[in-house]
């Protein structure tokens, strides 16, 4: 079955520290991959997406993600976290050419210590 796994439920980092949020997928072929961010009580905002090509993808708010086929991973990174980055982050995937229904991970709650 197709699935997306975010192994970390909660992560706490200090402001100014680097961040890496993990995401692993299980699909027959390389899926389309996405990262979304959700502030409390709000909808989800797209940070970045990967379809093919360059495995390092740049997104909004200074985030980037690296696709690693050998590890079935699509980890989200930021070199220096700001207090405003505290939110919940969701990884998602969709089968290429197989319709546009996304499968979401269960999310990682990021807390930023000042």
Instruction: Note the residues at the interface with another protein (CB under 8 A).
Output: 9, 32, 34, 36, 41-46, 49, 51, 90, 92, 94, 99-102, 104-107
Per-residue tokens: 48: 């970045």
> H/E/C letters for each residue in the chain?
CCEEECCCCEEEEECCCCEEECCEEECCCCCEEEEEEECCCCCEEEEEEECCCCCEEECHHHCEEEEEHHHCEEEEEECCCCHHHCEEEEEEEECCCCCCCCEECCCEEEEEEC
Q: What's the closest the beta carbon of residue 16 comes to another protein, in angstroms?
A: 29
Rounded to a whole number of angstroms, the minimum distance from the CB of residue 52 to another protein is 11
**Which residue, 59 or 112, has its beta carbon nearer to another protein?**
59
Nearer to another protein, 1 or 114 (CB): 1
Least distance to another protein, CB of residue 65, Å = 13
Closest CB 28 distance from another protein, rounded Å: 19
- Compare residues 37 and 112 and give the one whose CB is closer to another protein: 37
């Amino acid at each position: 079955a197709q699935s997306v796994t975010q192994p970390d439920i909660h992560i706490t980092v200090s402001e100014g520290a680097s961040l890496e949020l993990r995401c692993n997928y299980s699909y027959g072929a390389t899926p389309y991959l996405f990262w979304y961010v959700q502030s409390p009580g709000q909808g989800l905002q797209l940070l970045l997406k990967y379809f093919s090509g360059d495995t390092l993808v740049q997104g909004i708010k200074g985030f980037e993600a690296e696709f690693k086929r050998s590890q079935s991973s699509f980890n989200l990174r930021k070199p220096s976290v700001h207090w405003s980055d505290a939110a919940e982050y969701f990884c998602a995937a969709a089968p290429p050419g197989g319709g546009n229904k996304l499968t979401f991970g269960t999310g990682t709650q990021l807390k930023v210590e000042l």
